Structure 1
Amino acid sequence: MTATFRTLVFWFAAAWVAAGFGPRLTAAEEFQPGAAAGSTASTALAEGLELESEQLWGDAIRHYESALRTWEEDAQLRQRLLISRLHYDVRRRYDDSSFVDAARRLPTQQALDLYAEVLANIETHYVEEPDWAKLLLHGTASLEVALSEKAFRQQQLADVPAERIEAFRQTVHRYVISRPSETRFDLRANAAYVAGLARQELGLSGTATVMEYVCGAILTLDPYSRFLTGAQLDETFSNIEGNFVGLGVELKADTDRLAIVNVIPEGPADVAGIVPGDSIIEVDGTRTDSADPDHVADLLRGPENSYVRVGILGADGQRRDLQVQRRRVEVPCVENVHLADPDRGVGYFRLTNFQKTTTRDVERALWNLHRQGMQQLIIDVRGNPGGLLSAAVEVADHFVTRGRIVTTRGRNARENFDYVAHDTNTWDVPLIVLIDGDSASASEIFAGAIRDQNRGTLIGTRTYGKGSVQGIFRMQSAHAGLCLTTAKFYSPNNVAISERGVAPHVTVQPTYIAARPTEDGRLATVEDDAILKAALGHARDSARLSRLP
C-alpha cells in the first residue's frame, strides 16, 4: 500500500473489463459502411449491431472486445464498443441502489463539486495528458445514452413524453459543440449549462445530468478507469483488505445463471451446503434468466447478518431454495497448499489474488511446505486477476535475490518508481510458475520478474496483458470513489506488459479452467490438468538432471 497523496489510497493493479473509445459518440448514429466494408471486420460489426439492437449490451461488449483483438485499429468497432459500454454502465448504475439513493439526495451544486474534483484528479494523476474537449464529448455522449435507456427514464423522467425526451437527446450535443472546452473549469461550466437546459426542457434533475458527465468522462478514459459508487468503493476496499460481507462464493456469469466456481471454506455458502458446480438462478425473487446477471449478483450483497433467499440449481438438475445469512468472510488468497509430488518434494499452491494478506499467507505456505520436505515449488497464478502492486512486489521479493522487480512510469513524476529486490529472506528453491490468459496485472508483475530475472520457469499460455496501475481515490465531495490509471508498469528488462502479456518458457494449452468441478462434483485432478502435468514433468526432469554427475 502506498498513501502518496491525500486522496490516493492504494496503488491497485487489477484486471477490469476491457473497453475501447472512438472519435464520435452519438448513440443515435446509424452504421455507415466505411473502410471495413467488404471485409471480415464489417461482418463482425454487423453482428455486434445485431446484439445492440436486442440491447444485449454485455454480449455486445464481449463481442467487440474479441473482434478488436483481430482488428485493433478499426475505429468503428472501437466506437461501437464504447457506446455499448456506456449503455451497460447506465444500466449498472441505475440498478445500484447506492448510486440511485446518492443521486437522489445529492444537490446539483454538490454534484458539480464532485465533477470538479474528478476532473482535478484526472489533471493531476492520470497517466496521460487529458483531452478536455474529448472528455466533454464523452460526458455528453453518456447523457445521450442515458436518455435512451428505460431504467434512466423510469427513475428520472417517468412523466415526460417519450418524444420530448428523444428530441432533446438528439440535439443535446449541439448545445456544447461550440462552447469552450480548453480547461477543466470550462467542463464544469458546460455541465452546469447542460443541466440547466435539461431541467428547463425536460424537468430533469440537475444532479442526474451532472452525474452522466462524471461517469462518461471517467469510463471513456481507458479500459480500467471508472467511477465507483459508494457501495463499489466499500467493496473495493473490502477486496483489498481481504474480507467482505457476503456469502463467500466466487461467481461466473453465464447466459441465464450465475455459476458457482468456488466456495470459501466455512463461509455462509459452505455452511448452507452450496458447492462448486451449483448455479444461482434466483435471488430474492429476481430470476437470473430475466435480469442482468450483474444486477442479480448485486442482490447478494447486503448488511452484515441479514438474510438473502437464493434459488440453487444443482449439478444434478435439482432445485433447492435456501435462506443464507450474509456474514463477514475472510477471502483466502493462497489455496491448495500441498506436496503435488511427495516423492520428489514438489510443493504447490495457488495464488488467487494479491491483497494485503497475501505476503503473510505466502510465507505461511512456504514454511508449511518446507516442513513437509519441499525441494521444488510450483506457484499457480492462472486465473489470478491481480490486486495490490505492493503485494506482487513483496511476493516476487521472496524469490528474487537482487535487481529490479518492476518499474512504474506515469505522467506525474511522483508516480515513477523502481521496485528492487532485497537479498534477505529469499527462498532459493527451484521455482515453476503456472500462467494463462486470465493471469493479469499484479500476476504479470510477479511472472515478469521471475522470467526476466531468470529465477524460474513459466509454463502455460501468454498472460492477459494488463500493464497499468490504478490509484483508488476517495472523493471528498460525496461518498464515492475514482479508480484512475496513474502509471504503466514494465518488467525488469524494461518490457511493457500492456497488450503483450508475459510469454511462458514452455507453452501448454489448458485442458480445463483452474478449479472447475467435474461432472460428479469433484475438483479436477492432476490428470485433468495438462499445464500442471507439464509442470510436474519439468520438475521431475530437473530433479533428475541435478543428480547427474
Structure 2
Amino acid sequence: MRTRNANGRSLFSGYWGALVLWIVLFQVFLPAQEPPRIRIPERALPQAAQLELVLQQGQTLENSKRWGDALAHYEKAIKLFPGHRDIQQHYHLAQGHYDVSRRYADISFKNGFRQLDAGKAAQTYDEVLTKIQTFYVESPNWRRLVQRGTEGFLIALTEPAFIQTHLQQLPVARRLALEQKIRKRVREARITSRYQAQQVVLNISRLAENEIRLAPSACIMEYTCGALMELDLYSGFLTVNQLADVFAQIEGNFVGLGIELKLVPGALSIVKVIDGGPAKQAGLRVGDRIVEVDGQTVLKLKPIVAADKLRGQEGSKVRVAIVHPAGFRENYVLTRCRVEVPSIEDVKILLPQDGIGYLKITSFQKTTERSMDAALQSLNRAGMRGLILDLRGNPGGFLDASIDLADKFLSRGLIVSTRGRSAKEDVDYQAHDLGTCKTPLIVLIDKNSASASEIFAGAIRDHRRGLVVGQCSYGKGSVQGIFPLTASPVGIRLTTAKFYSPNGQAISGRGVTPDVLVQEVNKPPVAIGGAPKVFADPVLDTAVRLLRKEVLAVVPQR
C-alpha cells in the first residue's frame, strides 16, 4: 500500500459531514434540534420572491436559535443563489453559532482549557497559521483570517455555553462596548503577514481580559477556529475527540459500543449496529432509542452531550436505557471494546446463473484493500463472471485506499493527479499490472458518492475499464491533510490539494458524470434490449442488465 504521511499529516479524502455518520458514536455533528420543517420551494416562484422567502425562513430558524437547522437551510440556499452576499453572511452567522455550541458540547474541548494557558494558546494559533501558510491549497489572506476570527469570537460572546464556561455572566452593555473596541482595533490594524495577524489577536485577547476578565486562552482559541472557518468547507479545527475520530476512521476501528446514531428530540436513535460490537452482542437493533446514559436522561443532557458520554476507555462500562420500537423500555450495561468497522459489505452473488457478483464499499480506510482481496476471492470461488461495485452513499475516506483499489482494477496508466500550492502536493499516481483483477466491472455512484469514491469512479470511467452507472457524483475534488498539533493535543484539517481524473477533468464542483445516467426514482429504468426488470432498485437493475448484455455476452462460458 502506498503511504504518504509527512510532516505529521495523514491524507484524507472525504466530505466531513458524512464522515461523522460513519462513526457517529465518536462525534455527532448533526443538529441537536428537530429536523427543519421549512422547505425551500424549487419551482413556481419568481427568483426575487423565492429569495425573500428563503431569507424569511432562515430568519425564523435563527430567531428560534436552531442553528444546525439554519446552517442546513443556508447550505441549500447557497446552491440556489450562488454568490449572494446576504445568504453568505447568514450562512457564516449560523455556522459560527453552531460550531461554538458543538465545540462546547465536546467534553474533550472544555477539559482542554484546564491545561491551556495564554502561552500555549498563542503557540497553537501561531502553529495553525504556519500550517495554513505552508500547506493550504491557496495563499492565505491574513486580514480575512483575523476578520473571520473576530466574527467567531463575537458570536461566542453571545453563546450561553461559552459564557457559562468562561464568564458565568456577561451583561449586554459590556459585551457591546467590547465589540466596538475590538472592531475598531481590527479595522485600524495593518494585517499583511502571519506575525501581524498573531500580534493583533494577542492584543485583542489582552483587551478582553481587561474589559470582561476573560481568560486569554478562550479568546485566542476562538480566533484559531475562526481562521480555519475562513478557508473552505472542508478545512476546520479538530478537538481531541474529533481528531481521534478521524484516525479511527482511517484505521477502520474504534473503541466504543459498535453503533451508529442519529440525534432525535430527547433520544439517540440507533441507525446501525456493527457486527461483533457490544451493542450487537447485547441484542440492540436498528430503531432502538437510547433515552438515558448512566442515569441521566438524554432529554436533560441534550442528545449531543449524551452521545459524548457514550465514549470511554476500552473495558469501561456504561449503563443505557433503551426504548424499543414496540414501546417497552429495557436497561443494559455495556462494556466498551475495540470494534472493527467493515468498509466492504453485502458481498454476494446476485444471480448465480449469470455469475454476477456484488459488493458495497461504504468508505475507504486502511483495511479496504485487504477486505477487497478477501471479497474477490470469495466471489471468484462462487463463480463470479462480472462484478457490480456499489459506491452509492460512500463519502470517501483515506486517499491511498482509493488509489490502491483503483490499481487493483487497472493494469496501467494514470489513476489520479493531485495539484496544490506546494510542489510536494503535485503527484501523479500510476497503476501497475501486478495483481490486476480483470473481471468485467460496473461501478454504481450517486450524488452522495464523494472524493475518494470519485477518484475510483473517475479512473474506471476515463480508462474505459468498466461502466459507471447512476447519478452524477458529489463533486468534492479535494484532498485534506490531518495535522495533529504540538502546542496542544488538538488538530486541524486542511485542504492541501485538488485532484483531477486521468483525462484531466477537475472533480470539484462538477463530480463524475456516469456513462449511464439512471435517476433513483420509483419508475422502471429504460429498457435495455427488452430485458425484463430484475430488481426494484432501478440503478442496480440497469447495471445487472448492462452486465448481462454488454459484458457477459463476450465472456466465454466455463
1:82 paired with 2:92, answer yes
Q: Can you list the C-alpha shifts for 1:207-261, whole angstroms capped at 9, x where unaligned?
A: 0000001011012210010111112112211211111011111233445544323
The match for 2:43 is none
Q: 1:4 to 1:303 in 2, by over 3 A?
A: closer
Query: 1:317 offset after TM fit, Å?
Result: 3.7
| SS of equivalent residue, structure 1 residue 322 | strand
Residue 431 of structure 1: how far off its partner (Å): 0.5
Q: State the SS of the aligned residue for 2:409.
A: coil
- Check if 1:533 corresponds to 2:524: no
Per the alignment, residue 154 of structure 2 pairs with 144
Matches within 5 A, 1:301-450: 301-450=311-460
Distance 2:521 2:260 in 1: 21
Aligned residue among 234, 241, 244 for 2:254: 244
Give the distance between the partners of 2:521 and 2:278, measured in 1 at CA: 31
- 1:6 is aligned to 7
Separation (CA, whole Å) in 2 of partners of 1:357 and 1:265: 16
SS in 1 for 2:188: coil
2:121 corresponding residue in structure 1: 111
**What is the CA deviation profile of residues 301-334 of structure 1, one whole-angstrom value per residue up to 9, with x for unaligned ones?**
1221222233333333443332222111111111
Aligned equivalents of 1:250, 1:78: Cα separation in 2:
32
The residue that corresponds to 2:473 in the other structure is 463
Aligned-pair CA distance for 1:463:
1.3
CA contact (8 A) 2:105 2:304 kept: no
Which residue is 1:474 aligned to?
484
1-side partners of 2:247 and 2:107: how far apart?
Answer: 19
In 2, Cα distance between the equivalents of 1:382 and 1:321?
Answer: 36
* Distance apart, 1:298 and its partner CA: 2.2
Name the residue aligned to 1:125: 135
CA gap 1:544/1:394 in 2 versus in 1, 3 angstroms = closer
CA 1:421 to 1:37, structure 2 compared with 1: closer, same or farther past 3 Å?
Answer: closer
Deviation at 1:6, TM superposition (A): 2.3
- 1:369-405 CA deviation, whole Å, 9 max, x = no partner? 1111110001111111111111000001111121111
1:87-129 deviation digits (Å, cap 9, x = unpaired):
1111111111111111232110110011000000000000000
Q: 1:410 to 1:139 in 2, by over 3 A?
A: same
- After superposition, the C-alpha distances for 1:411-466 in whole angstroms (9 at most, x for unaligned) are 11110111111111111111011111211111111111111111111222121111
Is residue 13–residue 398 contact of structure 2 (8 Å, CA) maintained in 1? yes
The amino acid across from 2:12 in the alignment is F
Residue 493 of structure 1 deviates from its aligned partner by 1.1
Q: Percent identity?
A: 46
Conserved? CA contact 1:17–1:223, under 8 Å: no
Residues 17, 224 of structure 1: 8 Å contact kept: no
Task: Map 1:97-108 to 2 at 5 A.
Answer: 97-108=107-118
SS at match of 1:174: helix
CA distance in 1 between partners of 2:284 and 2:538 (Å): 28
SS at match of 1:104: coil
Conserved? CA contact 2:385–2:552, under 8 Å: no
Who is 1:163 aligned against? 173
| Structure 2: runs of 5+ lacking an equivalent | 19-45, 523-533
Shift of 1:534: 2.3
Query: How many angstroms apart in 2 are the aligned matches of 1:220 and 1:320?
Result: 46
Q: In the TM superposition, what whole-angstrom CA distance separates every residue of 1:157-187 from its partner, at most 9, and x where no partner exists? A: 1044343234323542222211121111111
**Is the Cα contact below 8 Å between 2:440 and 2:551 reproduced in 1?**
no
Question: Structure 1: which amino acid aligns with 2:511?
Answer: G
Query: Do the aligned partners of residues 317 and 501 (structure 1) sit closer, same or farther apart at CA in structure 2, a change above 3 Å counting?
Result: farther
Aligned residue for 2:271? 261
Task: Compare 236-245 and 112-121 and name the one that shifted more.
Answer: 236-245
Counterpart amino acid of residue 554 in structure 2 = S
Task: Judge which range, 353-362 or 457-466, deviates more.
Answer: 457-466
- Matched residue of 1:180: which SS? coil
Q: What CA distance in whole angstroms lies between the structure 1 residues aligned with 2:378 and 2:552? A: 25
Q: How does 1:148-297 map to 2 (within 5 A)?
A: 148-169=158-179, 171-254=181-264, 257-285=267-295, 287-288=297-298, 293-297=303-307
Q: Distance in 1 between matches of 2:126 and 2:296?
A: 37
| Cα distance in 2, alignment partners of residues 452 and 256 from structure 1 | 48
Distance verdict in 2 for CA 1:495–1:319, change over 3 Å: farther
Residue deviations 1:265-305 (CA, integer Å, cap 9, x gap): 11111011112233334434555556654433322212212
CA displacement at 1:351 relative to structure 2: 0.7
CA distance in 1, matches of 2:542, 2:215: 60
Equivalent in the alignment of 1:29 = none
Residue 61 of structure 1 and its aligned partner are, at CA, apart by 1.0
Distance 2:475 2:407 in 1: 22
In structure 1, list runs of 5 or more residues that go unmatched: 19-35, 513-525
TM-score (normalised: structure 2): 0.88
Report the residue type matching 2:349 in the other structure: L
Q: Which moved more, 1:246-255 or 1:183-192?
A: 246-255
Contact map agreement 1:92 1:295 (CA 8 A) in 2? no
The residue that corresponds to 2:73 in the other structure is 63
Determine the C-alpha separation between the residues in 1 that align with 2:338 and 2:350: 32
CA distance in 2, matches of 1:73, 1:438: 23
Asked whether the 8 Å contact 2:346–2:359 carries over to 1, the reply is yes
Q: 1:386–1:440: 8 Å Cα contact kept in structure 2?
A: yes
Matching residue's letter, 2:446: D
